[in-house]
A and B are shown apart, each in its own frame.
Chain A
């Protein structure tokens, strides 16, 4: 059976026109991360700035999207405003199913719109609308208006940016369907640079399901594992917020700009406390019966006598770490308030929290004054942080503009680099030890999800460099495969390589199923090739001193081990990138560099 080419919609914002492309390479790249990397390599200009209008913004789904539960993620690829190099961010909501049912494996957006615009697309329509009237509007208000003025309802996904994205802040995220995000590395700024306020995808196609008896059987098996066993209990129960108390007990929860790794007040912002005091309901991405989205409420008395309004805010471990623990805001409602402000502003809440934690310490030590921060910042002062979030999002002055481009840049100008909690980008909520620090600093996405170094730290009391390094690259490769499908990584225990192969076979993708290890290696290596071609030097990623001053349950950080692991990981990255270059030179990647053909 000949394989079906990828069906890719390419839209040029300058002309408002699109073209459907049939691109070969499905059994080489699968989809998701693999397809996104291939398209970024093809359409991106790695030697030009991230905000060059011709740079692509890519959204890709996978061969199993919609066909199986938790195959619910969209992979977004772009050149990051953070470092100008290849980057990837993953989001859920309804985006993946909507794009699949609109009939596309990927959406590639190039060019810059003449006015602030909204791209609306589906199986039978494509339109670029002038939405200049939405300029400066927050994420929630933008969503409400777009829901009213765009065609269709319910079965669509609305991706949008807030003021932070319009200001091209490198900490700007893309909000997906109110409660999910392409959060990290500044995808929101890429939309801002393209004058693109929103993308609405109508999932109005209805393709036939795979033929044969295997598909329903395999589906039911996967569904049963996900819903009738304990495999997803954590996510269904407290959600990722469960980690707060666990890490605090381990002395591995970054607190007060990582001056501490535990604090008694963490109990007040634990997953248990959030569930008991603030949890309103759960929600799910389309096609996921687990429902890990935890939505808390905040109530505000806005007028006497007894006039209240309420807001619904999604929370997870990472936002709680960033605006709770890092800022020592130990009241769940106050933390939810800050998450809501970041949400409305369109900021990546993780980076925003870590940035303000650094600014607070810099303010306390006299490196910054109110001339820069515009108001006094102090750990625990949630009211001040609520204002500072908006200063950061809007780039209110030179200081906030610089801070929003990355903490280390602000630190280079104002001092305090030694306590800037940056590992490639602002840190994630794990102070578990050397392996995690290296895994984030040298991870492709600079994400805790790249290779789960935090889990390795927790399982090994005295890790060895070679073993840890082997673990990181193997884990990264396995995750590349999952995100090329494009699965939610929370389902990684269910979607083993063997089960993925069964799912693919039953869905008619036998060719992909027979090449899983090869695809995983290729995607992993190609991403690093792209990243290095953009100028990434893994040997030079800084490790601020704060990370070596940390004490966890294992005791102090071992700087010598950290340095050896970092060096070995950097060598591994270069080996992978070189391998991808060799493959290309040998013509092994030929189908990934063919000129795209118009469909038909």
Chain B
């Protein structure tokens, strides 16, 4: 199984191409919010950018609190999302320890499903779709040259 990681965020230029690609290709929206990966400036533009995305927990706390099994544990970490089962209760977002789940005003949750479709849109190769062993979970060590 593969998971999405963001090991080279020092290279990020804040273009939001990854978020826009996720919203466009996975969720059919024009948005930088309704996306599994979201870019935020860390304390203003002058200090660079960080990626808010699922760290592929196993077990995933968001799946544990989901009352309708809309979020279920994914092999390799993270969750499989079944939108039709979601009742918009919003319990998943506060359960995420790293704030990786975005809730729309109507309660619809958006989280990374580790499909990797955003990766080719990053112009600076900040992102990686990396193979992990089942049960390994988490993004592992950040890469440094």
Contacts and interface: CB of A to CB of B under 8 A. Distances in A.
A289 B121 contact: yes
B16 A97 contact: yes
B29 A207 contact: yes
A206 B17 contact: no
Nearest to B32: A155
B34 A206 contact: yes
Given A101-B32, A209-B23, 12 more contacts: A101-B31, A101-B33, A144-B44, A154-B41, A155-B32, A155-B40, A203-B32, A206-B33, A206-B34, A208-B30, A209-B28, A288-B15
B124 to A, nearest CB: 8
Contacts of A178: 44-46
Contact of B13 (A143, A144, A227, A282): A282
A23 B116 CA distance: 41
B30 A67 contact: yes
A283 B14 contact: yes
Contacts of A291: 13, 15, 123-124
13 contacts: A100-B30, A101-B31, A154-B38, A155-B32, A204-B33, A206-B30, A209-B29, A227-B123, A286-B15, A287-B15, A289-B121, A291-B13, A291-B123
B32 A286 contact: yes
Interface in A282-324: 282-291, 293, 312
A291 B124 CA distance: 10
Contacts of A288: 15
Interface string B91-124: 0000000000000110000000000000001011
B39 interface: yes
Interface residues on B, range: 20 to 34
Interface residues of A, number: 40
B29 A284 contact: no
B13 A284 contact: yes
Contacts of B46: 178, 312
Given A177-B45, A223-B121, A208 B15 contact: no
Contact of B30 (A101, A204, A227): A101
Of the candidates A144, A179, A204, A289, the one having the most CB atoms from chain B within 10 angstroms of its own CB is: A289
B123 A289 contact: yes
B24 interface: yes
Interface string B1-31: 0000000000001111100100111001111
B123 A205 contact: no
A462 interface: no
Interface in A103-154: 124, 143-144, 147, 153-154
Nearest to B123: A289
